[in-house]
Amino acid sequence: MTPERWRRVSAMFHLALARTSVDREAFIADACGGDPALQREVAGLLSAHDQGRGFGDTPVGGPAPPLARGTVLGPYVIESWIGAGGMGEVYKARDPRLDRTVAIKMLSSGIVNDVASREGFVHEARAIAALNHPNICTLHDVGDNYLVMELVAGATLRECLQRPLPLARGLGIARQVLAALAAAHRGGVVHGDLKPDNVMVRADGYVKVLDFGLASWLPTAGRIDASLATAATDRSPILGTIAYMSPEQIEGQAVDQRSDLFAFGITLYEILSGQHPWPRASPSETLLAILGDDPAPLDTGPDGSAELAGVVRTLLRKDPAERYATAEIALRALTTAAAHRGSFAAPAETLPLTSIAVLPFACPTDGEDSRTLSLGFADALVTIFGNLQDIVVSPTAAILAYAADSDPARVCRELGVHYSLQGTVQKLEAGWRVSIRLFEAVTQTTALSEDYEFDLAQVFEIQDDIGGDVVELLKGRFASAALKSRDRYSRNAEAYGAFMAGLRDSSSDRLDTLQHAAGHLTKAVEHDPEFALAHATLSFVSMNIHFQFDPQNTWVQQAEYHCRRALALAPDLPEVHLARSWILWSPAKGFQHIEAIEALERVLATRPHLERAHNRMSSICQHIGRLAEARQAHEQALRSNPKTRTGNLEWIYLMSGDYAGAEKATEAWYLERPGNLYALMTRVLPPLWSGDLDTAAQRLAVVLTALPDEPLNHSMQAMLHARRGQSDLALQCVRRALESPRSFGHTHHVHHYIASAYALLGDTVTAMAWLQRSVAGGWACWPFFRIDPFLENLREEREFTRLMAELEQTYSTFEITRL
Amino acid sequence: MSGSDHDVTRLLHAWRSGDASARDQLLAIVHEELRARAAARLRRERPGHVLQPTALVNEAYLRLVGQRQTEWQNRAHFLAVASEMMRRILVDHARRRKMGKRSGGWARVTLGEAAVQIDPRDVDLLDLDAALDELASIDVRRSRVAELRFFGGLSLEDVAHTEGRSRATVERDWLLARAWLYRRLTDRRDGDDA
């Protein structure tokens, strides 16, 4: 291959990677037009890219081979490998005597012999095993070269910290960690190695602190080395294992419970700010900084509270005598500070939530009826559970990706839920049978297993029965009177079948699939013109097609027509109000913020955990400068679905003027979804607004290649040129933005950027006019306009201050009740 | 031992400040150390046992540079030199072994969990070596990134650091190199089977 050829292959490969996998094939075909060999080469590399993920993540030779399943270790039988911990490999194993599943931690050779011969070992081991507290992972047994402990399913706090943690959730975790420390200290055990990697967070929010007291069995010097060694080869994109040692520990002095409080202080600092208080290029420098430097001032974001920062400062005092004397006192201080914090966290969040996913039911017999019932059962149950106050249910859209026979443990893990419900529908000689199985992730057991027989005329009653049985078992409470499935769906079999077919396709992000959905739903309302849910869903789908793909007004008209029909038929149906809010908050309707918020509030009254309603609420709140509420709605969406991914968080940071926070969040978003166009566009803004123009220019170049006729990009480029004082180029970009054939829902942002470009160039009159237009078009984030670095030149203008006061008056007074 | 703590540390510093001859001297010292340790280890190892080159490299670092010397940049640079050496030692060994008798998966590379759909999951070390050479003939830079990952276990940050490029660039290089190698290795295996 010639170097020139290789350069082309390389460029195509990276350009294609920046696209979604769906778009890739078309992109390569287009970009390699007329060169089939090149196209083959690039396509081959892309498929190798997809298949070869993880290749090379383990270097040659790799880690030591794990113990095989079935290996006997004392009385225990190894079941599977869980991971590698700081001390050695960890396995899931079974204790046949007690019929109990446990975690076994193998100890690297040497440790045990050294330790077991030590004076006082037995006494220490007994003290640790005697700890009995719900937030402490129990030590069951100590073997020759292994430890046996309680098996905890969940994610480490380190993993949770990979992305910003909602404040209330973070504080909930912190409180449980402190409670564990307090109990252990009472029992005379110092943890000695507390860090986010040793804190497990279960799917239900319950915290278990691991490895209490084990650190005392390792020499401190060995731990410093281990921590440095892992840091040097660590593959995590951020920092890797960093030091959590107190100054007295580093200096090798005697260590007591206050040392744990210091480590907890570092952990709490990370929970609040997402970063270590002494971020340094290397762990050894961090260790030095712990000894000598003050921590970086705690940035708790726009919701920061001085009291919380004060608690952290006290925990991180270098002199143990200046820290809290006990974990109990620290816990009291933390609780008080948390109660006084800003308005962001909803008090309800302290209640633990249970979560459940309902998979499409399996239908061994093929046929239209079966396919309809497969999703029909799932949707009915999702709806019933969606009405529960203290139970979060994965939305229908999220479960469609799973086959009916998926491994329930995997479903729970991937969706981050506590329970999964699976079912099978079978045709009998006379009638039908449905069997359900409710799987509980924490215990890895079946919590409920039932058969129901029915004929098709009773299908809705059976759905309600199943829902009722599960709700009873989960002790769920309904937010409002539950609608019977019979009243929700249609008794007309054709209409019902067409609706389910349409529902299956209604959450797609592809135009052709959405058009199919609209086709099926249209058939559903033709077969049964009184089918309110089908009208509402059709309205919603039409609006999504309009907003994302097709600016044609006919979609809006269709959406409005079916929404009106649905509203007349079922004025309380939450889906109707969801559809209504989508219509109200659209470019076609001039983004009616307050009305759309009201419609969403009606949805949330009956569907308290509907992720998409929370997400939309968050977006709207940003557009009118209600940043605290935007944050709160975003946290609610995260609570309903930990995997929810929008640009809301990134924009909240941006609009609060926290460009460092925005940078971190956008880069995390971009790394997670490199092909997402919104992520590509959004990541230009943090460096642009914070003045790192070269980085902004680089990112802009990338997104301009991906979306060459997107007016948002041209308007961002106009800002960049204006900021560099290149007025001709800036004006050229303004023209290009306005002439671009691609119409887009968010033109009001383009107008804001054009206003910024003119403001930077000193043309305040034109700038003001564009800003007015942006506001009129629905972008009214006045708190940001007041600090927008590019609108500096407008700040003194009388017209500007008047507009800001007006917006504040309009949007800051009304109350948003459902968040 | 061919170099004292002081020597290796000084050479690492010199190399980092741009002295190319320091790197050659380092290579010699590190090679001698690794060769001796690997040979001893391989003699002792039971057949079929997995040799852990990254563990070996870490040991060599501790011996040559010392425990107290904990500068992270030094360590990354050391690993970079060592991975080149490690590759040479492992490949030589694999070749000799192959001439003697065909056996043993001690020097195999796991493809990682994501690749379970491809079976067999292991890649022969000599194939990997040849593929790296072939990639180097088209693109030295990306081949080097892959070498550092496979034989030194360097993180992308470390590679960025030792190669003096941004992490983003290194990541892009790695993605391409990985895809290219993966394709070359899986294609080749199909060819062998046929």
HSE, CB side, 13 Å, CA atoms: give it for residue A806.
10
A693 and A763 share one domain: yes
What pLDDT score was predicted for residue A444? Answer: 81
Q: Residue A61: which of B54, B117, B149 has the nearest Cβ?
A: B54
- The angle that helices A368-386 and A459-474 make with each other, rounded to 10 degrees, is 40
Q: Are A55 and B51 a contacting pair at CB < 8 A?
A: no
A692 and A751 share one domain: yes
Q: Identify the three-state secondary structure at position A292.
A: helix
Contact present, B178 and B142 (Cβ < 8 Å): no
Share in percent of chain B as helix, strand, coil (round to 5) = 75, 5, 25
Distance of alpha carbon A409 from alpha carbon A420, whole angstroms:
8
B41 touches chain A (CB under 8 A): no
Question: Which of A117, A150, A183 marks a domain boundary?
Answer: A150
A704 and A722 share one domain: yes
Beta bridge partners of A435: A424, A451
B151 touches chain A (CB under 8 A): yes
Residue A110's pLDDT band (cuts 50, 70, 90): very low
Domain count of chain B?
2
B11 and B93 share one domain: yes
Residue A716: which CATH number? 1.25.40.10
Question: Which of B102, B127, B148 marks a domain boundary?
Answer: B102
Distance of alpha carbon B86 from alpha carbon A549, whole angstroms:
54
Q: Are B115 and A55 a contacting pair at CB < 8 A?
A: yes
Contact present, A541 and A575 (Cβ < 8 Å): no
Q: Residue A48: which of B107, B109, B182 has the nearest Cβ?
A: B182
B76 and B160 share one domain: no
What pLDDT score was predicted for residue A87? Answer: 60
Tell me whether residue A585 is in a domain: no
Q: Which residue has the higher pLDDT, A638 or A348?
A: A638
A673 and A781 share one domain: yes
B183 touches chain A (CB under 8 A): yes
B38 and B76 share one domain: yes
Per-residue pLDDT reduced to its tens digit, A120-146: 667 777 888 888 777 888 888 887 678
Residue B191's pLDDT band (cuts 50, 70, 90): very low
Residue A239's pLDDT band (cuts 50, 70, 90): very low
B48 touches chain A (CB under 8 A): no
Question: Which of A128, A150, A172 marks a domain boundary?
Answer: A150
Contacts of A221 in chain B (CB under 8 A): 67
Its domain, for residue A137, covers 72-150
Question: Which of A114, A131, A150 marks a domain boundary?
Answer: A150
Residue A367's pLDDT band (cuts 50, 70, 90): confident
Contact present, A57 and B109 (Cβ < 8 Å): no
What pLDDT score was predicted for residue A349? Answer: 37
What pLDDT score was predicted for residue A570? Answer: 92
B119 and B185 share one domain: yes
A290 and A393 share one domain: no
B81 and B122 share one domain: no
Residue B59 has pLDDT above 60, yes or no: yes
Distance of alpha carbon A633 from alpha carbon A619, whole angstroms:
9
Contacts of A234 in chain B (CB under 8 A): 155
Q: Which residue has the higher pLDDT, A250 or A178?
A: A178
B67 and B45 share one domain: yes
Contacts of B178 in chain A (CB under 8 A): 49, 52, 55-56
Instruction: Give the CA distances from residue A566 to residues A127, A486, A536, A574, in Å, rounded to whole numbers and listed in that order.
Output: 65, 16, 6, 11
Q: Name the pTM for this structure.
A: 0.49
Q: Are B72 and A10 a contacting pair at CB < 8 A?
A: no
Contacts of A240 in chain B (CB under 8 A): 155
- Chain A residues near any Cβ of chain B (below 8 Å): 1, 3, 6, 10, 13-14, 17, 44-49, 51-65, 221, 225, 228-229, 231-235, 237, 240, 281-285
Question: Which of B77, B102, B127 marks a domain boundary?
Answer: B102
Tally C-beta pairs within 8 A across A and B. Answer: 136
Residue B162 has pLDDT above 70, yes or no: yes
The mean pLDDT value for B95-102 works out to 59
Task: Assess whether A193 carries a catalytic annotation.
Answer: yes
Q: Are B52 and A3 a contacting pair at CB < 8 A?
A: no
Residue A240 has pLDDT above 80, yes or no: no
What pLDDT score was predicted for residue B107? Answer: 38
Tell me whether residue A406 is in a domain: yes
B76 and B2 share one domain: yes
Its domain, for residue B158, covers 107-194
Domain count of chain A?
5
A744 and A792 share one domain: yes
Tell me whether residue A391 is in a domain: yes
HSE, CB side, 13 Å, CA atoms: give it for residue A336.
10
Q: Are B114 and A14 a contacting pair at CB < 8 A?
A: no
Q: Identify the three-state secondary structure at position B122.
A: strand
B46 and B111 share one domain: no
User: Nearest-CA residue of chain A relative to B175?
Assistant: A49
A225 and A171 share one domain: yes
Contact present, B146 and B78 (Cβ < 8 Å): no
Distance of alpha carbon B81 from alpha carbon B25, whole angstroms:
11
What pLDDT score was predicted for residue B168? Answer: 82
Cis amide bond preceding A347, omega within 30: no
Q: Which range has the worst mean pLDDT, A342-351, A383-392, A485-494, B21-30?
A: A342-351
Contact present, A395 and A540 (Cβ < 8 Å): no
* Burial class of residue B65, CB neighbours in 10 A (0-12, 13-18, 19+): buried
Q: Residue A228: which of B70, B115, B118 has the nearest Cβ?
A: B70
Distance of alpha carbon B181 from alpha carbon B188, whole angstroms:
10
Question: Which of B67, B102, B137 marks a domain boundary?
Answer: B102
Residue A769 has pLDDT above 90, yes or no: yes
The answer to whether ipTM exceeds 0.85 is no
A343 and A361 share one domain: no
Q: How many residues does chain B have?
A: 194
What pLDDT score was predicted for residue A686? Answer: 96
Contact present, A771 and A803 (Cβ < 8 Å): yes
User: Nearest-CA residue of chain A relative to B67?
Assistant: A225
The mean pLDDT value for A402-416 works out to 85
Contacts of A6 in chain B (CB under 8 A): 138-139
B91 touches chain A (CB under 8 A): no
Distance of alpha carbon A287 from alpha carbon A278, whole angstroms:
9
Q: To the nearest whole percent, how much of chain A has pLDDT over 70?
A: 88
The mean pLDDT value for A630-650 works out to 83
Q: Are A232 and B158 a contacting pair at CB < 8 A?
A: yes
Residue A208 has pLDDT above 60, yes or no: yes
Long-range contacts of A512-521 (CB under 8 A, 24+ apart): A514/A541, A514/A544, A514/A545, A514/A549, A515/A545, A517/A541, A518/A542, A518/A545, A518/A558
Per-residue pLDDT reduced to its tens digit, A689-736: 999 999 999 999 999 998 888 899 999 999 999 999 999 999 999 999
Mean pLDDT of chain A: 83
Residue B120 has pLDDT above 50, yes or no: no
Tell me whether residue A628 is in a domain: no
What pLDDT score was predicted for residue A3? Answer: 81
| φ, ψ (nearest 5 deg) of residue A248 | -65, -30
What pLDDT score was predicted for residue B70? Answer: 47
Residue B127 has pLDDT above 80, yes or no: yes
What pLDDT score was predicted for residue A181? Answer: 93
Those residues whose C-beta lies under 8 Å from the C-beta of residue A643, and which sit 6 or more positions away, are: A398, A415, A416
Here the tokens at position A69 are 């399943």
Contact present, A282 and A231 (Cβ < 8 Å): yes
Provide DSSP, A646-690: -SHHHHHHHHTT-HHHHHHHHHHHHHH-TT-HHHHHHTTHHHHHH
Residue type, A302: P
Q: Identify the three-state secondary structure at position A209.
A: strand
Mean pLDDT of chain B: 70
Q: Which residue has the higher pLDDT, B53 or A672?
A: A672
A15 and A99 share one domain: no
What pLDDT score was predicted for residue B73? Answer: 63
Distance of alpha carbon A257 from alpha carbon A372, whole angstroms:
61
Residue A385: which CATH number? 3.40.50.10070
Beta bridge partners of A643: none
Q: Which residue has the higher pLDDT, A679 or B91?
A: A679
A672/chain B closest Cα distance in angstroms: 14
B28/chain A closest Cα distance in angstroms: 22
Residue A552 has pLDDT above 90, yes or no: no
Tell me whether residue A527 is in a domain: no
User: Nearest-CA residue of chain B relative to A2?
Assistant: B138
B137 touches chain A (CB under 8 A): no
Sheet holding A72-73, edge to edge: A72-73, A76-84, A89-95, A100-106, A146-150, A139-142
What pLDDT score was predicted for residue B76? Answer: 72
A683 and A765 share one domain: yes
Tell me whether residue A567 is in a domain: no
Tell me whether residue A605 is in a domain: no
A727: number of Cβ within 10 Å: 16
What pLDDT score was predicted for residue B192? Answer: 37
What would the 3-class secondary structure string for A34-72 be?
A: CCHHHHHHHHHHHHHHHHCCCCCCCCCCCCCCCCCCCCE
Residue B65's pLDDT band (cuts 50, 70, 90): low
Give me the torsion for CA of B138, B142, B147, B148, rounded to 10°.
160
B57 and B6 share one domain: yes
B98 and B126 share one domain: no
Q: Which is it for the CA torsion A476, A488, A610, A775, positive or negative? A: negative
Unique residue bearing structure tokens 């006919």: A554
Residue B51: DSSP 8-state: P
Beta bridge partners of A102: A93, A150
Residue B49 has pLDDT above 50, yes or no: no
Distance of alpha carbon A557 from alpha carbon A560, whole angstroms:
5
A169 and A263 share one domain: yes
A194 and A329 share one domain: yes
Residue B165: which CATH number? 1.10.10.10
Q: Are A6 and B139 a contacting pair at CB < 8 A?
A: yes
Contact present, A148 and A104 (Cβ < 8 Å): yes
Out of A57, A193, A390, A572, pick the active-site residue.
A193
B86 and B4 share one domain: yes
What pLDDT score was predicted for residue B113? Answer: 32
The mean pLDDT value for A767-796 works out to 93
Q: Which is it for the CA torsion B54, B59, B65, B66, positive or negative? A: positive
Q: Which is it for the CA torsion A293, A295, A296, A297, positive or negative? A: negative
B contact test, residue of A47, A60, A245, A410 with most B CBs within 10 A: A60
The mean pLDDT value for A198-202 works out to 87
Q: Are A52 and B152 a contacting pair at CB < 8 A?
A: no
Tell me whether residue A646 is in a domain: yes
Contact present, A258 and A185 (Cβ < 8 Å): no
Residue A388 has pLDDT above 90, yes or no: no
A contact test, residue of B77, B150, B178, B184 with most A CBs within 10 A: B178
Q: Are A61 and B118 a contacting pair at CB < 8 A?
A: no
Contact present, B153 and A59 (Cβ < 8 Å): yes
B131 and B57 share one domain: no
Instruction: Give the CA distances from residue A253 to residues A149, A248, A324, A524, B154, in Å, rounded to whole numbers and listed in that order.
Output: 30, 5, 19, 76, 34
